[in-house]
């Protein structure tokens, strides 16, 4: 069933190349002529998405290719014809502001080419195309005008009837050289022209929203496979099956203006890595079968688009489906979410904040457990504070979906910020490895692991030595950062290859599409690399060794 806030990806094909008119090289064949005139550029497209109310994102205005001369944005005071605008990231916001304020200018924009490169991006202090309160429609409180993301422009939530590409670094250099050569040339017959083939129209007229295109089967729904696991494994035939559950969760997907450039290093992958490292640390603790409470871990996908994964998880619980066999939502005592934790390092101190849902005995126990974990990490200068009472409530998080389902849910969200996002590149392609600190992620993982052990033990007599014995593997955190946040080694890293054969090397954490009917036993090629890796990693870390079964 289509939900009001679920977004859907239309059928599309895209290609970008530019033509160099006026070439006089000796040609021996038609392919030689074509290769001389055209160069294909690598890049990342802004794509078209649909919801019940209409469209967002970018596309050619129709089903035809767009052919337009390339002009720099700084030289585009007036456009007399359809033009492809070349602009830097520093000009990005001003360009889209002009688009919204100058309809004459907007009508002559045939396409947009955005430069990339380390030097100009390092000069950019902030950039977030998301809204100031991301996904405010899911807020459990009324203060939806609050600005969790004050620098957010919201431009990724608008619809643009022209293609937009983020160029690769090599493509940027190639195009810059040709445009400079073109600007220096005085020959009227010489021009550099971009051809955009970003056709993102549904296959049938009139299907411009998710409901109609799904009905006509002309688009695919966004989605993927979330993963959950328990430590120790839940034995549904045992009396332990009725243990109170502490659910700890993180997200695996991000978003950006450019679909295939969505690393989401700080938001949310820093939290995912911290959760994985915490699970690994706990897996080495003896006596887990004697814990009073059941630890369950959930990693959701589709959270950047209406909390798809967590909402589906709650629905599966209601349906008591095979996908959540062994889980009972009535046993959930506490929900702990690991949010953005990669920027907690400040002047030698690792600072984190607990954003809570309200007041309850379970919540008080969790805050006490966090304090005990902090005390056990004093030598590492780790601090945890309750978020400001002036906040309207919890920040944008999967926990909001749980509160929408049950307003009495006890939960906290662990973040590296108090009143506003510390991530200056939220839902941006610039939220990459350089935007996070490994020591901050290690500190968060240590805090989580020791807090969960304290909660699951449910005893006041827990010795300090039992907490200090829980150690996070620093090398694992750094390895996961290389696997999930870089192209080298990327998903070809040894850790990932230990569990799966990845289909891609460069990771991208943009949610995928559901190709076939979802099932608890999906066809492996229909499951993304990251989901498959997480499934195997968590299964390995939370399983019972065969000799102990």
If asked whether residues 167 and 284 sit together in one domain, one would say no
Dihedral sign computed on CA atoms, order 280, 282, 285, 290: negative
pLDDT of res. 23: 46
Nearest to 293 by CA among 496, 457, 414: 457
pLDDT of res. 549: 40
Average pLDDT over residues 271-280: 99
pLDDT of res. 458: 81
If asked whether residues 377 and 396 sit together in one domain, one would say yes
pLDDT of res. 483: 98
Task: With cut-offs at 50, 70 and 90, classify the pLDDT of residue 66.
Answer: confident
If asked whether residues 175 and 270 sit together in one domain, one would say no
pLDDT of res. 545: 65
Helix (H, G, I), strand (E, B), or coil: what is residue 41? Answer: coil
pLDDT of res. 348: 82
pLDDT of res. 53: 83
Nearest to 387 by CA among 362, 423, 411, 403: 411
Average pLDDT over residues 430-439: 96
Residues with Cβ within 8 Å of 104's Cβ and at least 6 positions away in sequence, in order, are: none
- Is 221 a residue whose pLDDT tops 50? yes
Task: With cut-offs at 50, 70 and 90, classify the pLDDT of residue 473.
Answer: very high
If asked whether residues 145 and 227 sit together in one domain, one would say no
For 51-65, 70-84, 204-218, 275-289, which range has the lowest pLDDT when averaged over its residues?
A: 204-218
Q: How many residues does the chain have?
A: 549
Contact present, 502 and 496 (Cβ < 8 Å): yes
pLDDT of res. 6: 39
pLDDT of res. 183: 72
Examine residue 2 and state whether it is found in any structural domain, yes or no. no
Average pLDDT over residues 478-485: 98
pLDDT of res. 13: 38
pLDDT of res. 186: 55
* Distances, alpha carbon 288 to alpha carbons 284, 324, 429, 454, 470, in Å: 9, 22, 40, 12, 12
For 142-156, 234-248, 370-384, which range has the lowest pLDDT when averaged over its residues?
A: 234-248
What distance, in Å, lies between the first and last C-alpha atoms of the chain? 41
- Separation of alpha carbons 39 and 45, rounded Å: 17
Examine residue 262 and state whether it is found in any structural domain, yes or no. yes
Domain finish residue from 168, 185, 219? 219
If asked whether residues 204 and 341 sit together in one domain, one would say no
Average pLDDT over residues 429-439: 96
Examine residue 386 and state whether it is found in any structural domain, yes or no. yes
Structure token pair of residue 162: 């022209």
Helix (H, G, I), strand (E, B), or coil: what is residue 299? Answer: strand
If asked whether residues 148 and 264 sit together in one domain, one would say no
Q: Where are the beta strands (DSSP E) in 313-396?
A: 332-338, 345-346, 349-356, 382-386
Q: pLDDT tens digits for 484-502?
A: 999 999 999 999 999 999 9
If asked whether residues 195 and 323 sit together in one domain, one would say no
Residues with Cβ within 8 Å of 175's Cβ and at least 6 positions away in sequence, in order, are: 18, 41, 70, 86, 113, 115, 167, 192
Task: With cut-offs at 50, 70 and 90, classify the pLDDT of residue 62.
Answer: confident
Nearest to 112 by CA among 91, 85, 136: 85
pLDDT of res. 10: 36
Q: Peptide bond before 438: cis, by omega within 30 degrees of 0? A: no
For the chain, the domain total comes to 2
Residues with Cβ within 8 Å of 452's Cβ and at least 6 positions away in sequence, in order, are: 246, 248, 278, 282, 295, 336, 369
Give the CA count within 13 Å in the CB-facing half-sphere of 377. Answer: 29
If asked whether residues 378 and 422 sit together in one domain, one would say yes
In percent, how much of the chain has pLDDT > 90? 62
Domain that holds residue 166: 8-219
Domain finish residue from 184, 219, 254? 219
Residues with Cβ within 8 Å of 380's Cβ and at least 6 positions away in sequence, in order, are: 350, 443, 446
Contact present, 164 and 60 (Cβ < 8 Å): no
Stronger pLDDT, 200 or 469, i.e. the higher one: 469
- Is 9 a residue whose pLDDT tops 50? no
pLDDT of res. 347: 77
Average pLDDT over residues 331-345: 96
Contact present, 173 and 116 (Cβ < 8 Å): no
If asked whether residues 160 and 233 sit together in one domain, one would say no
Helix (H, G, I), strand (E, B), or coil: what is residue 281? Answer: helix
- Is 363 a residue whose pLDDT tops 70? yes
Examine residue 145 and state whether it is found in any structural domain, yes or no. yes
Stronger pLDDT, 167 or 521, i.e. the higher one: 167
Average pLDDT over residues 118-124: 70
What does residue 401 show for φ and ψ, rounded to 5 degrees? -65, -40
pLDDT of res. 14: 45
* Distances, alpha carbon 348 to alpha carbons 424, 443, 447, in Å: 21, 12, 16
* Distances, alpha carbon 412 to alpha carbons 110, 269, 378, in Å: 47, 18, 22
List the CATH number of the domain containing 417: 3.40.630
- Is 362 a residue whose pLDDT tops 90? yes
Stronger pLDDT, 18 or 537, i.e. the higher one: 537
Q: pLDDT tens digits for 167-185?
A: 999 889 988 888 887 777 6
pLDDT of res. 204: 55
pLDDT of res. 18: 58
Q: Give the predicted TM-score (pTM) of the model.
A: 0.92
Examine residue 1 and state whether it is found in any structural domain, yes or no. no
Structure token pair of residue 110: 């045939």
If asked whether residues 177 and 227 sit together in one domain, one would say no
pLDDT of res. 111: 92
For 114-118, 292-296, 434-438, which range has the lowest pLDDT when averaged over its residues?
A: 114-118
Examine residue 312 and state whether it is found in any structural domain, yes or no. yes
Mean pLDDT of the chain: 88
If asked whether residues 210 and 226 sit together in one domain, one would say no
If asked whether residues 60 and 97 sit together in one domain, one would say yes
The interaxial angle of helices 270-283 and 529-542, nearest 10 deg, is 20
The 3-class secondary structure across 152-199, one letter per residue, is ECCHHHCEECCCEEEECHHHHHHHHHHHHHHHHCCCCCCCEEEEECCE
């Amino acid at each position: 069933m289509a939900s009001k806030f679920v977004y859907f990806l239309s059928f599309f094909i895209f290609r970008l190349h530019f033509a160099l008119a006026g070439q006089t090289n000796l040609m021996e064949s038609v392919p030689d002529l074509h290769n001389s005139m055209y160069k294909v550029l690598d890049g990342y497209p802004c794509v078209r998405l649909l919801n019940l109310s209409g469209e967002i994102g970018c596309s050619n205005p129709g089903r035809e290719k767009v052919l337009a001369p390339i002009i720099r944005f700084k030289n585009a005071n007036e456009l007399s014809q359809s033009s492809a605008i070349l602009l830097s990231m520093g000009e990005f916001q001003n360009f889209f502001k002009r688009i919204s304020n100058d309809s004459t200018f907007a009508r002559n924009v045939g396409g947009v080419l955005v430069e990339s490169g380390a030097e100009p991006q390092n000069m950019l202090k902030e950039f977030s195309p998301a809204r100031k309160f991301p996904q405010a429609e899911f807020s459990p409180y009324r203060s939806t005008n609050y600005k969790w993301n004050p620098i957010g422009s919201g431009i990724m939530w608008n619809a643009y009837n022209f293609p937009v590409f983020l160029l690769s670094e090599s493509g940027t250099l190639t195009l810059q050289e040709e445009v400079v050569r073109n600007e220096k040339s005085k020959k009227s017959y010489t021009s550099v022209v971009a051809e955009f083939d970003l056709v993102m129209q549904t296959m049938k007229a009139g299907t411009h929203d998710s409901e109609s295109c799904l009905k006509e089967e002309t688009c695919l729904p966004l989605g993927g496979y979330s993963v959950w696991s328990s430590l120790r494994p839940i034995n549904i035939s045992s009396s332990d099956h009725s243990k109170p559950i502490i659910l700890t969760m993180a997200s695996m997907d991000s978003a950006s203006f450019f679909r295939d450039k969505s690393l989401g290093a700080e938001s949310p992958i820093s939290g995912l890595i911290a959760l994985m490292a915490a699970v690994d640390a706990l897996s080495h603790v003896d006596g887990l079968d004697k814990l009073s409470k059941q630890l369950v871990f959930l990693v959701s996908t589709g959270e950047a688009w209406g909390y798809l994964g967590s909402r589906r998880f709650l629905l599966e619980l209601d349906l008591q489906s095979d996908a959540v066999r062994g889980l009972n939502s009535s046993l959930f005592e506490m929900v702990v979410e690991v949010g953005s934790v990669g920027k907690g390092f400040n002047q030698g101190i690792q600072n984190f904040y607990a954003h809570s849902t309200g007041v309850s005995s379970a919540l008080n126990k969790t805050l006490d457990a966090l304090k005990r974990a902090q005390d056990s990490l004093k030598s590492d200068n780790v601090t945890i504070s309750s978020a400001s009472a002036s906040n309207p409530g919890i920040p944008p998080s999967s926990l909001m979906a749980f509160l929408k389902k049950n307003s009495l849910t006890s939960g906290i969200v662990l973040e590296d910020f108090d009143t506003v996002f510390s991530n200056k590149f939220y839902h941006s392609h610039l939220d990459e490895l350089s935007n996070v600190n490994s020591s901050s992620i290690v500190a968060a993982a240590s805090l989580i692991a020791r807090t969960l052990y304290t909660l699951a033990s449910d005893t006041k007599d827990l010795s300090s030595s039992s907490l200090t014995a829980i150690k996070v593997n620093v090398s694992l955190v750094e390895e996961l950062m290389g696997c999930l946040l870089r192209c080298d080694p990327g998903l070809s890293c040894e850790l990932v290859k230990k569990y799966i054969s990845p289909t891609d090397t460069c990771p991208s954490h943009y949610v995928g599409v559901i190709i076939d009917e979802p099932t608890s036993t999906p066809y492996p090629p229909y499951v993304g690399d990251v989901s498959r890796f997480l499934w195997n990693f968590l299964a390995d870390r939370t399983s019972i060794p065969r000799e102990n079964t």
